[in-house]
Chains A and B, each alone.
Chain A
Amino acid sequence: IAGITQAPTSQILAAGRRMTLRCTQDMRHNAMYWYRQDLGLGLRLIHYSNTAGTTGKGEVPDGYSVSRANTDDFPLTLASAVPSQTSVYFCASSEVAASNEQFFGPGTRLTVL
């Protein structure tokens, strides 16, 4: 059982380019989340999805979009990347929405130049 996988592991991206970070879970969890982790700021919630077909905005949603076409996948898209989006991105999932039992993926390190 893989749990949560994220791809790519790391990426260097030119500003203005479009980028999709992938997240897949095999635990059949209903809820999924995207966080960004920056030095001195901890983890901040970008978007979440309580169940397939629904999404919601977190604390820092601007510049990001998500979709939840099925239970397993929750891609995060940066339509036009900017340097301030340089960060480590973590995907997480939980069996039910708003559960404290969130399982995190290994992260994607994104650098926008």
Chain B
Amino acid sequence: GQQLNQSPQSMFIQEGEDVSMNCTSSSIFNTWLWYKQDPGEGPVLLIALYKAGELTSNGRLTAQFGITRKDSFLNISASIPSDVGIYFCAGQLGTGNQFYFGTGTSLTVIP
């Protein structure tokens, strides 16, 4: 299967700080997605990206579809305690049902 490399694996930051994480692949994807998973729950979609170079925001979250179509970035500005969770990237190769997920970035926000 496809391997999506997500980094960093974990982050410990102070409340109010900005956060950056990224996801890279050896394959070209048509769609990039970013999810957040809270403990004991399923992932929730945060942002979807459909075009190379696209920059999309959702509140304090901003994600970008890399120009090469092999990477994507997620930034969180002015982090707050409820940002704690695991963030996953996911990519779709074509138009089929297969979405490939990254291994996740665990975010801890220290008040």
A: which residues have CB within 8 A of B?
4, 31, 33, 35, 40-45, 48, 50, 56, 58-60, 90, 92, 97-98, 100-102, 104-107
Task: Establish whether residues B44 and A40, one from each chain, have CB atoms under 8 Å apart when the complex forms.
Answer: no
Instruction: Using A42-B102, A58-B98 as known contacts, list a sample of 5 further A-B pairs with CB atoms less than 8 Å apart, ordered by residue number in A.
Output: A33-B97, A42-B103, A43-B90, A100-B48, A106-B42
In the bound complex, residues from chain B placing their C-beta under 8 Å from that of A48 are 97
In the bound complex, residues from chain A placing their C-beta under 8 Å from that of B41 are 104, 106-107
In the bound complex, residues from chain A placing their C-beta under 8 Å from that of B45 are 100-102
Task: Establish whether residues B95 and A98, one from each chain, have CB atoms under 8 Å apart when the complex forms.
Answer: yes
Q: List 30 A-B contacts (CB under 8 A).
A: A4-B42, A31-B97, A41-B103, A42-B100, A42-B102, A43-B90, A43-B101, A58-B97, A59-B1, A59-B98, A60-B1, A90-B42, A97-B97, A98-B92, A98-B95, A98-B96, A98-B97, A100-B31, A100-B33, A100-B45, A100-B99, A101-B45, A104-B41, A104-B42, A104-B43, A104-B44, A106-B41, A106-B42, A107-B40, A107-B41
B: which residues have CB within 8 A of A?
1, 4, 6, 31, 33, 40-45, 48, 88, 90, 92, 95-104
User: What separation, in Å, do the CA atoms of A41 and B6 have in the docked complex?
Assistant: 11
In the bound complex, residues from chain A placing their C-beta under 8 Å from that of B48 are 100-101
Task: Establish whether residues B104 and A42, one from each chain, have CB atoms under 8 Å apart when the complex forms.
Answer: yes
* Nearest CB of B to A110, in Å: 15
Known: A42-B101, A48-B97. A100 touches B92 (CB 8 A): yes
Nearest residue in B to A35 (C-beta to C-beta)?
B101
In the bound complex, residues from chain B placing their C-beta under 8 Å from that of A44 are 1, 101
Nearest residue in A to B50 (C-beta to C-beta)?
A100
User: What separation, in Å, do the CA atoms of A59 and B101 have in the docked complex?
Assistant: 11
User: What separation, in Å, do the CA atoms of A104 and B96 have in the docked complex?
Assistant: 18
